[in-house]
Amino acid sequence: MAIRLELHDRVDQKRCARCGGDYRRVYGTIWDDERRAGVYSADLHQRHDDSRLVLAVGTMGWDATTEQWRRYGVTLEIWPTADEIQMKLSEASQSPFTNTDTLGHILGRDEALASPLRDEFFHLADHIVREDGRVREQLNQYPISS
């Protein structure tokens, strides 16, 4: 299994509904060998002394109810501490990505933690944090004390 990222050139300039600050949204595709393993979008907020970001990751999963493959996504808040990168699943209602078909059904926190895709979401997020220079640069700006 060789995970690689395809970084998209598209960058959207956005305004945060919560704080009113500007941020960039960047995009990418995740490949597992020759299979498209997922897509992602990262909101890179430009807040003073805070390098948190919001990451949405979408992948395919089997829906036993409909017996079909279906797109599922999660939203994670990600931030650096002095020693490591922290990730927290967000509630679907807090996700800026709920109105998109690209990522599929956005799972809430409890739903994602109980999902058979949970480990896959975190595995893909780890690759994005390590390998997407735009995300890594954001996280390297200001470590946050726990």
Section 17-34 average pLDDT: 88
Tell me the domain boundaries of the chain: 3-139
Tell me the pLDDT of the chain averaged across its residues.
87
What's the pTM value of the predicted model, to 2 decimals? 0.88
- Higher model confidence: residue 128 or residue 100? 128
Contact 90, 113 (CB under 8 A): no
pLDDT in tens, 35-71: 899 999 999 987 666 677 999 999 988 777 888 888 8
Alpha carbon distance, N-terminus to C-terminus of the chain? 34
Give the ranges where 11-117 is alpha helix by DSSP (H).
109-114
Tell how far CA 57 is from the center of its chain.
Answer: 4
